[in-house]
Amino acid sequence: MSYTDLEFELFSRQFILKDYTNEKIDKLENLKITIVGLGGIGCPLSLYLIASGVKNLTIIDGDKIEKSNLNRQILFSINDLNKQKVDVAKNRLQKINPNANIQIINENIKKSNISILFNSSIIIDTTDDWNNTKIINEYCSIHALKFIFCSVIGNDVQLGLFDNNKKHHICLNCLFPNKNDIDLPRCEKVGVNGIAAGIAGLLAAQKTLNYLLNFNKEVNIITLFDVKKNNVNKIRVKKNNKCYLNNI
């Protein structure tokens, strides 16, 4: 599959950047990216990946659109209420690039269907569900798949990329071995800044391309961004010898 003349025109302002050599452009069009969750992060993330020239995108979400989604889930409008998120998202994304290959999976991720993630260049988890995140982290670690974790609560963004190198095991569970979903604040309880979710999606989009196109290979680091105070901190994740995924 090659970019068409229309696509080269669509992405022309990006492709004239010195980073985008012919080799990088060829690589970009062949990437296979999977996004799990079409919420406040997944919507801008998918939009900007398609607008950046990603041709092969799989989006996974089993939910319908609700009124409370609309302050941050920018692919949807009031006219889309009660429709399936993946259906509306695909239609919206293909209005940006009609030639994009967008696969939709109208399910939520669980252990019984986790294998649908296998054929991906990278998996990006935006689910806002720690149980799902743990399942995805485990699967990516076992199968040496590249994994981005991105979440937002209140004004706070968390973002990290794990390359899951079998020779040097480091994963999200190394940092949070005892973290349980019941312990975590939920958006419906403490709230979420829609702008923070948007920023998280854009940061995740850039991090995805940085890594896959070799612009910046930063891995095994969690970035913490308080969008209200404009503070950024980073935590380097170290191998946890007690992590149950060490020898799997």
Residue 166: per-residue pLDDT: 83
What range does the domain containing 121 cover?
Answer: 5-236
Residue 176: per-residue pLDDT: 84
DSSP state letters, 4-52:
-HHHHHHTHHHHTSTT--HHHHHHHHH-EEEEE--STTHHHHHHHHHHT
Q: Is residue 248 part of a domain?
A: no
CATH number of the CATH domain containing 65? 3.40.50.720
* pLDDT of 181 over the 80 cut: no
Q: Is residue 246 part of a domain?
A: no
Residue 182: per-residue pLDDT: 47
Q: Is residue 32 part of a domain?
A: yes
Q: Is residue 241 part of a domain?
A: no
DSSP state letters, 168-216:
S---HHHH-TT--GGGS--HHHH-B-HHHHHHHHHHHHHHHHHHHTTS-
Residue 246: per-residue pLDDT: 86
Q: Is residue 242 part of a domain?
A: no
Domain count, the chain: 1
Q: Is residue 34 part of a domain?
A: yes
Q: Is residue 244 part of a domain?
A: no
Say what the pTM is: 0.95
Q: Is residue 97 part of a domain?
A: yes
Percent pLDDT > 90 in the chain is 87
pLDDT in tens, 70-83: 999 999 999 999 99
Rounded Cα gap, residues 154 and 193, in angstroms: 5
